[in-house]
Homo-oligomer: A and B are copies of this chain.
Amino acid sequence: MNWLIENGTFLTQDPERPVVRGWLAVRGDRIAGLGEGEAPQDVRSVARERVDGKDLLFLPGLVNTHGHAAMTLLRGYADDLKLQEWLNHYIWPMEARLTDDDVYWGTLLAAAEMIRTGTTAFADMYFFMDRAAEAVETSGMRASLCRGIIGLGSEAEWREKVADGIRFAREWHGKADGRIRAMLGPHAPYTCPPPVLEKVIEAAHELGLPIHIHMSETAAEVEQNVRDYGVRPAEHLDRVGVFTRPTLLAHAVHLTDGEIALLAERGAAVSHNPVSNLKLASGIARVPDMLRAGVTVTLGTDSVASNNNLDLFEEIKLTAMLHKGVTGDPTVLPAGQVLRMATVDGARVLGMEDTGMLKEGWKADLIALRMDRTHFVPRTDFVSHAVYAACGADVEHVWVDGRQLMRGRELLTLDEERIRHEVQHRFERLLRG
């Protein structure tokens, strides 16, 4: 179907024309054209639906490159605790009780929350991933999914998990009209000994898929890596061969100059999760140094259990502020750069082709923010407003693959009240043990 936005302001993320004030036409799942001023007559005549873009600011949909969606089930359940206490006494016992239905409903809740706050694509690493994939399919979102593989058990155990990760990737990659992509997801160097990683790498080559892995989230795990393997995690992963595949590293908080240079050389990308890293007291990633070295850095929320929401606008503003404060240089991470990290760079790192830019021929994944709001006055620099003044609640409409998922704050693909009820009910069951 053809539809048309008229009279809108578009922050395209296309370096050739960053701001367009005019029209954008969609045919099927792609942007058929955009231009300044009024849409040409031939475009208008074929548009079966028109959106009045007055007072709306259009951006490519945000891309959340790291999380564990179903953990919405544990929002607010445990905060302000030491990491080991948090994991041992709260998170892991609850996760041990999760059913595949819990993962389905928890992922649906995450999808509802992400759509509401302008995220159109996300990466997810968890378990019972078939049900997570079903939730993505239902929601209409785009996602890159992987079965998280913890390789600490017996060989039989980890081989089964690796096999399940491979099976999941084979079954789901390219499904839902291509909106679902798969990665392979070995959890982390400290939970996946080299034989596990080697098996995963082999499969990733066979399937032509990228690898999504946590790395150097805490100082303690870096020390352990040095004790166990004599080198820090980046060099360790390089030796084992992980970087022979496109790799997305979640967190990457504790890196040396040498590790940053290595990631740049190997083309490994990073998902920066500043809210989670601060809240869990993991530390502050060296984002300006990574960017300077040429590492692609993108943004992620991590799970709701360490955030405690999925509003990527918070990560956007925090990323733009935090590294100024830490480096003492107010010119690092300017607003426009952070917006690219949260859109086009995120999509590229998740292997989503032609996604994350408002440009002819690219995927029609876009969001509209209401600009007739008191906190957007005066109308000065729209990039600044989107990064420093906006929040997820400013998102009015959301489209993915040309299909509208939210219209005027109303979700069109999800029964939000039912989802909220299910998650509440399931949380109470989990709590009873």
* Contact surface of A with B, Cβ cutoff 8 Å: 72-73, 75-77, 79-83, 86, 109, 112-113, 116, 219, 275, 277-284, 307-311, 314, 317-318, 320-322, 324-331, 333-335, 372, 374-381, 384-385, 388-389, 391-394, 416, 419-420, 423-424, 426-428
Contact = CB atoms under 8 A, between A and B. Distances in A.
Contacts of A388: 76, 79, 279, 307-309
A83 B279 contact: no
B113 A385 contact: no
A79 B381 contact: yes
Contact of A330 (B82, B116, B374, B379): B82
A393 B109 CA distance: 19
A357 to B, nearest CB: 22
Given A278-B322, A321-B279, A325-B282, A81 B375 contact: no
Nearest to A115: B374
B279 A324 contact: yes
A330 to B, nearest CB: 4
Given A79-B384, A109-B374, 9 more contacts: A75-B380, A80-B331, A80-B334, A275-B321, A308-B385, A309-B375, A309-B388, A380-B427, A391-B391
Quick one: copies of this chain in the complex? 2
A314 B375 CA distance: 14
Closest 6 CB pairs of A and B: A278-B325, A393-B393, A378-B427, A76-B380, A278-B321, A281-B330
Contact of A420 (B282, B322, B374): B374
Contacts of A310: 375
B280 A330 contact: yes
Contact of A281 (B116, B279, B324, B423): B324
A284 B323 CA distance: 11
A381 to B, nearest CB: 5
Contacts of A420: 372, 374, 377
A213 to B, nearest CB: 22
Contact of A80 (B307, B335, B379): B335
A79 to B, nearest CB: 5
A95 to B, nearest CB: 15
B325 A384 contact: no
A219 B317 CA distance: 24
Contacts of A283: 325, 328
Contacts of A324: 80, 278-281
A287 B310 CA distance: 27
A377 to B, nearest CB: 5
Given A79-B334, A331-B81, A334-B80, A377 B72 contact: yes
A75 B377 contact: yes
Contacts of A321: 275, 278-279
Nearest to A327: B281
Contacts of A330: 80-83, 86, 279-281
A277 B330 CA distance: 10
A141 to B, nearest CB: 14
Contacts of A328: 219, 281, 283
A101 to B, nearest CB: 15
A394 B393 CA distance: 9
A314 B311 CA distance: 12
Given A321-B279, A325-B283, A75 B378 contact: yes
Nearest to A116: B374
**Residue of A329, A384, A426 with most partner-chain B CB within 10 A:** A384
A317 B276 CA distance: 12
Nearest to A421: B377
Given A83-B330, A325-B281, A388-B79, A375 B424 contact: no
